Chains A and B, each alone.
Chain A
């Protein structure tokens, strides 16, 4: 029986587990430290074969991570939700003006006047929070505010020099605003 579970663990490592087998295996491994230890060694064997003598995590690493997740009561950010530290990308937030920018982008970013932008938008979870250097200034921008900037950057990029456009559009791609489709009267393909 134990052998069967361990063989499943080996198949899991290779991504060759049958779909039904995963649930039970995960639960068994959750309860059994010895299984986890063995799984860790299966992983280590592969790493060692590919990069002999290379840097690897120390034996207690995974246990420490698990403990950190337990201790700090770390909880995944809920979906939908707004993570507070998307601000690392911005010094100060844009105004809470909900009118959109850029021709087609406006259709996506637009919030109809007179309505509360927040309630119309379905937000998705923000990218991983960025720690590090604290930013001066006020609160983080909302996804709507970030969206505005992205729209502007794309429209602006068409007219910038090639280097400027590359920078502007790279920033637009990276800004990861969690764009939400608010206004849907656009043609579908």
Chain B
């Protein structure tokens, strides 16, 4: 039977109970609670992930250990693939290839600070609306509609559990209010009692090849030489890293932008000597990507934003002089 069991342990749930005479929480406050819950609660659930006409059953397990999120996302539909984010690394298990890909974890710093937070500027970019919802998984829900004010970002409809603000259902919508991607939980347990062992990979990786970067990537401030000259409104640089590519004498830049809700990554790498390639775009679910060549480099923008947004960002990226760049004047310092 689908069920939602909520065990609230003292100290686990960070949400403050509203005072009896306080105003009911606004849509924005529900979003903030949701972000907080997702980051700070322990949970274990099964969900259906739908995009175009595909669907995939997945399991997600999340725990907070020593102030950091650790989580495991497993595909249950036969590929056996899973992503496990431990305290130090991200492991992508591919049992079909007997390979585990390893990326160092770089979202350093405190849990909440690392999150794209729905801040005050969010109202300029999105309208937020709160509605009553029908019950889901046997719980009362509040529905938050996040509608973009322009075509540069997607809309969201979030069904939040009234008790924990956990999103029991979330849908990403495009400019024509069509659902581009959806996640529906069919089972969710929240609170204490998530077994640490549930975070162990289900794959026996004995004999697998572990592939990892040669050196730990460094996080540093923007101004490393490339920036978009024009960004769609509201997007700010939140982090930047420069990564060595194993076996190659070249480095890759990874810039991360966010509007407080959606985020876009820009990857910059030297182009192979094969000759110029035409610009191309791709999408999977709500994620879009756009690649183009700029001055002997390949620039790719990826994010859960419409195709036009990644295209505009990618084509405006250019090498900048660190001193002259206005973006460098207001960089976002990030922790190691």
Residues of chain A with a CB closer than 8 A to B97's CB? 179-181
Segment at the B interface, from A7-15, A63-71, A163-171: A163-171
- What are the interface flags for A37-68 relative to B under an 8 Å C-beta threshold, 1 for contact and 0 otherwise? 00000000000000000000000000000000
Report the minimum CB–CB distance from B289 to chain A (whole Å): 6
Residues of chain B with a CB closer than 8 A to A145's CB? 282
Q: Check B277–A152 contact: CB distance below 8 A.
A: no
A124 at the interface (CB under 8 A from B): yes
From the candidates A90, A108, A133, name the one contacting B99 in the complex (CB within 8 A).
A108
Main secondary structure of the interface of A (DSSP, over half): loop
Which residue from chain B places its CB closest to the CB of A102 in the assembled complex? B103
Main secondary structure of the interface of B (DSSP, over half): strand
Pick from B58, B170, B287 the residue with the most CB of A within 10 Å: B287
Number of interface residues of B (CB under 8 A): 91
Residues of chain A with a CB closer than 8 A to B205's CB? 189
A184 to B97, CA, bound (A): 13
Which 7 pairs across A and B sit closest by C-beta, in order of nearness? A103-B213, A162-B38, A95-B277, A156-B265, A113-B272, A186-B211, A95-B280
Q: Check B52–A88 contact: CB distance below 8 A.
A: yes
- What are the interface flags for A128-165 relative to B under an 8 Å C-beta threshold, 1 for contact and 0 otherwise? 00101100000001000100110011111011111110
Residues of B within 8 A of A (CB): 35, 38-39, 49, 51-54, 56, 58, 60, 73, 75, 79, 81-83, 85, 90, 92, 94, 96-97, 99, 101-107, 115-116, 156, 158, 167, 170, 172, 181, 183, 205, 208-213, 217, 238-239, 243-248, 252, 254, 256, 258, 261-263, 265, 267, 269-274, 277-287, 289, 291, 293, 298, 300, 302-304, 307
Residues of A within 8 A of B (CB): 88-108, 110-111, 113-114, 124, 130, 132-133, 141, 145, 148-149, 152-156, 158-164, 166-176, 178-181, 183-189
A181 to B247, CA, bound (A): 14
A97 to B282, CA, bound (A): 14
Which residue from chain A places its CB closest to the CB of B81 in the assembled complex? A173
Q: Check A101–B269 contact: CB distance below 8 A.
A: yes
Question: Given A90-B282, A97-B271, A154-B103, are A186 and B265 also a contact pair (CB < 8 Å)?
Answer: no
Pick from A103, A148, A154 the residue with the most CB of B within 10 Å: A103
Report the minimum CB–CB distance from B236 to chain A (whole Å): 13
